[in-house]
Chain A
């Protein structure tokens, strides 16, 4: 199984889509760092957990879009046509799906690490700052719940119809850009830039209110639930004949 996982991961990583997404995210991340983060978010240092969280919040929608594009990669017509072949192998459907989604998660983890590495390189080169431990909590809070949610929601929607993935992308962008309350907002940008200002101290230590922790835990659990649901759905829906008919029907239309 590890060989199949390695193969699926290599298909995702050694792909112009991955490099395109990585390039766009790093480019946007760099502009965010040199544009707003360098000034210090909410009057804190540019290298504070709040500024770092803000930076991740700005890049997070692009990371989620990248994740959804990776899922869309598995929904391409060519991929659907290949399904009869993969289903003909002795590998069981469900573990195979889990492996594939694991590969997507690994690719996203690599994207996230690149984004974090960019910020750390920026901090070290400009400020000589190296207290990385402070950055773990904002990174976990900012990245994991939306990534899990997009995985689950993307899988369920792509099972219903692949085009719905693009609708989800639009929804991710809207939920990130609209000025929604932090409890429902997809991006935590406004939380990181506003919440420290409501605290009575300057340079407050990083902490999150309970309601926000609860909402993010709920989002992560919802994402996991939807992922499990989608894996369950997959076995019932995909059938050799159906996939074959899809290609046959299209072929008839063309003629």
Chain B
């Protein structure tokens, strides 16, 4: 009997079974679990589940459908494969059809049925999703999210269970192995993006921008597993029992056709290769090393006059190519080796000094998402160093890959930050007082670049193919650009004497206008200006608030602040009754414009208690208290900080640090990281509240903070230290100890 005919018969048999229809029906309705009880995407709110609209109504149902669909099809597979044995028809059937053919056609029929089920599920859920997402809906995202997030898990389950059954020929053993395989993914592998085959690590899905990177990452993970499980299945295929023989005798018989074994090995090698050579995350060491990022000793005879970069992002592939040029001064009269830092995903094609190729080497060591590049400079005094670089940028592996999507390069969004945009000089100081920089970037027609800082982008040229070349001129060793289809809304704040340039996605414009986001921003800025002081750091009296993709939280810097798009979703905008917590990130990042600019806090305190976060958290608490009432602010902030601090102080390793040294390096790093976070974000704000009580209340504290913020800066040491703060309060460190 031909394989095709057998496949058709097997499919017909499957379709005629009531169990199959039950499995199809359950798989189709399974996304409902993601709308109700199973919410794998991270919530951005403490007071209730909140994420983007696509996350809520598309990604969560698709992920839930993937988990349940995989379980349902695993059960269907094992029951289907055991049918002949269960009914005692095996010997009779295999007299007509080879067991090998039967195995192959059974697998093919189940996979075909799973594809059919997926298509029906997508059609069934389409109207609901379109209705719920409204303007945010787009067909491509719908298709990709359902196929990659949901369907991606089902063939893996079929292959695994089918292989387990072919090895063991036991329903119970196959099911227990599948349960263990699924449990591993749902528990211990849940934060390891390459291993959680059933429940992929997806933190957030963007409404306003693209999700190419996270979709590629999940698809890649599932491809790796598909290769591995296809290899496992082929191995189990070799163990299909022949002529009443056992596993090993059948294996010896089946392996005579040599290509089968070759296929197994090939699939195993491909799976191992895709696992080891994944392009998404770097291999940074677990322990942060700030000396790797910022040199403690600089070149004594090499200086940089200016630098520039011509950057060409490739939205279709997510890659970036560029050419960076550094005008250097070598005063030593000898060859010199300098170091640069760049994203670990980039390769360097060529390095030329004054037109001639010079030796260079890319270091293997990766730290905090950066990699070293060493270049040997010639003995010439004036050197034009040109570096051709490019590749697929890699993200930091700090959370085991659970947080991905920051380094998006697509035709709707790009986050090109520092060493991801261009190689950064590591141990070379600027020649003059400033280090001028020019970046030219080629972008698709609809996209505009927004420099993170006070710089402005200028349209330089429009190409016939529809792309535009933009130029950004600035100052410094690195540049950050956010690129997207942005709308700019200017929000004048008269009391602060500045204008906020609010950049947000065009797709979100109706919601922004309806929710009066500009009004909320104005309130926060007015509060800070009145209580802390005007933003005197910006000469132009302008700063930018830029909406970013919902992959991680925002941050602030010179003249600009980022806010996560989740803060602006319809759900959050309607959630004011919860007491302001949903807008916490937006308020927090805005407050960083006052507390948290690089020149405000001494960098040597980075790992300790005193940082910009303490004052920022405290001010955020005060704003929430003013807008939403004391009870809400106390519950949302003070009680949370107290609980976190108490929990931290009770931690076994904090009380018994001698045991910490016995732990593996990764766990030590986690404990030390939590120490820093809790102290800065919870303990320090509590100390500030205690200081507020000791100095005589909120008004007295506001006066102190106002005077500190507006103090005359020492150009040699412009930092606000803990000592400055304590002296201003007339308190000692011991006074602020938290019992």
Contact = CB atoms under 8 A, between A and B. Distances in A.
B655 interface: yes
B667 to A, nearest CB: 6
Contacts of B655: 202
Nearest to A127: B662
B239 to A, nearest CB: 13
Interface string A153-181: 00000000000000000000100000000
Interface in A51-73: 62, 65, 69, 72-73
A202 B650 contact: yes
B700 interface: no
Nearest to B188: A31
Contacts of B650: 43, 202
Nearest to B674: A39
B155 to A, nearest CB: 23
Contact of B89 (A44, A173, A254): A254
A17 B172 contact: yes
Given A28-B180, A254-B88, A44 B173 contact: no
Interface residues of A, number: 31
B261 interface: no
B662 A32 contact: no
B120 interface: no
B92 to A, nearest CB: 8
Grouping DSSP codes into helix (H, G, I), strand (E, B) and loop, the B interface class, with mixed when no group exceeds half, is: helix
A24 B180 contact: yes
A253 B92 CA distance: 13
B177 interface: yes
A27 B184 CA distance: 9
Given A43-B651, A65-B176, A127 B659 contact: yes
A254 B667 CA distance: 60
Q: Tell which of A40, A62, A127, A203 has the most Cβ of chain B within 10 Å.
A: A40
B168 A16 contact: yes
Grouping DSSP codes into helix (H, G, I), strand (E, B) and loop, the A interface class, with mixed when no group exceeds half, is: helix
Contacts, number: 64
B183 A28 contact: yes
B176 A251 contact: no
Contact of A27 (B168, B179, B180): B180
Interface residues of B, number: 28
A24 B662 contact: no
B652 A24 contact: no
Contacts of A38: 663, 667
Q: Tell which of B173, B188, B667 has the most Cβ of chain A within 10 Å.
A: B188
B667 A250 contact: no
Contact of A20 (B173, B653, B663): B173
B176 A69 contact: yes
Contacts of A73: 172
Interface in B446-475: none
A250 B88 contact: yes
Contact of A31 (B179, B187, B653, B667): B187
Contacts of A251: 88
A27 B92 CA distance: 40
Contacts of B180: 24, 27-28, 62
Contacts of A253: 87
A38 B651 CA distance: 12
Interface in B544-578: none
Interface in A1-40: 16-17, 20-21, 24, 27-28, 31-32, 35, 38-40
Interface string A42-54: 0111100000000
A251 B87 CA distance: 9
15 contacts: A16-B173, A20-B173, A38-B663, A38-B667, A39-B653, A43-B651, A62-B180, A65-B176, A69-B176, A126-B662, A126-B663, A127-B659, A202-B650, A254-B87, A254-B89
Given A35-B188, A202-B655, A203-B652, 17 more contacts: A16-B173, A17-B170, A17-B173, A20-B173, A20-B176, A27-B184, A28-B180, A28-B188, A31-B188, A35-B187, A40-B651, A43-B652, A69-B176, A126-B662, A127-B659, A250-B88, A254-B88
6 shortest A-B CB distances, which residue pairs? A40-B652, A31-B188, A43-B650, A24-B180, A254-B88, A35-B188
Interface of B: 87-89, 92, 168, 170, 172-173, 176-177, 179-180, 183-184, 187-188, 647, 650-653, 655-656, 659, 662-663, 667, 670
Interface of A: 16-17, 20-21, 24, 27-28, 31-32, 35, 38-40, 43-46, 62, 65, 69, 72-73, 126-127, 173, 202-203, 250-251, 253-254
